[in-house]
Structure 1
Amino acid sequence: MAYSISTALAIYFVLWWVVLFVTLPFGVRSQHEDGEGAPGTDPGAPVMARMGWKLLWTTLISAVVFGIGMWAYHQGLLNIERLSKLMGLPF
């Protein structure tokens, strides 16, 4: 079974969002931690979120993980028979 382009894009899209939520907390300092809070804002609001860098890192990490997954799939390491056997399910 070969992946179609739309399946590969859907897998990458889901993987990208998962990695984004993993990278969001890194390097964020709240107003409370930094000591500079604007009046009327939440103390937990970030001072500088640096979303551009996070989006770049998310794209790079996702591409590497996706590439490793596709390599493993094409090598036969991620086929349905092998995965069902590892989980103890009858195939």
Structure 2
Amino acid sequence: MKWTSILAIYALFWVMSAFVLLPFGVKTHDELGVEKVPGQADSAPANFRPGRLVLRAFVLAAVLTALYVLNFIYGWIGVEDVDFLSALRG
């Protein structure tokens, strides 16, 4: 596998990881007991830390990319392993 392919797969995993991790650890103003700004949505985060999100997404994407590349090299899970419709075809 070329390094550019690995980089592209890492970027996809990073974006996916960032969106998955986005709601974790975020609390609203009501949960923290902080005063809201007039006109602010009730669900707006009070403690959003993008640096922490980027770091967590970096680590998770690195682990997922490593597992993907290792699976590509050693072939632990192949197409035949996830073909659940073959039993229906007979």
Query: What TM-score range do you get, normalising by the shorter chain?
Result: 0.7 to 0.9
- Displacement of 1:85: 5.5
> Structure 1 residues 45 and 88, CA, compared in 2 at 3 Å: closer, same or farther?
closer
Q: Which residue of 2 aligns with 1:11?
A: 9
Find the residue that maps to 1:40 and give its secondary structure.
Answer: coil
Find the residue that maps to 1:44 and give its secondary structure.
Answer: coil
> Structure 1 residues 73 and 37, CA, compared in 2 at 3 Å: closer, same or farther?
same
Output the TM-score relative to the length of structure 1: 0.78
Q: Which residue of 2 aligns with 1:25?
A: 23
How many pairs were matched up?
A: 85
1:64 lines up with 2:50 in the alignment:
no
What CA distance in whole angstroms lies between the structure 1 residues aligned with 2:81 and 2:26?
Answer: 42
Once the two structures are superposed, residues 38-75 of structure 1 have per-residue CA deviations (whole angstroms, 9 ceiling, x without a partner) of 11211211001111111101101110111111112111
Output the TM-score relative to the length of structure 2: 0.79
Q: Which residue of 1 aligns with 2:41?
A: 42
Larger RCO: Structure 1 or Structure 2 (Cα < 8 Å, ≥ 6 residues apart)? 2
Identical-residue share of aligned pairs (%): 31
What CA distance in whole angstroms lies between the structure 2 residues aligned with 1:40 and 1:10?
Answer: 40
Q: What is the RMSD computed on CA atoms of the aligned residues?
A: 1.9
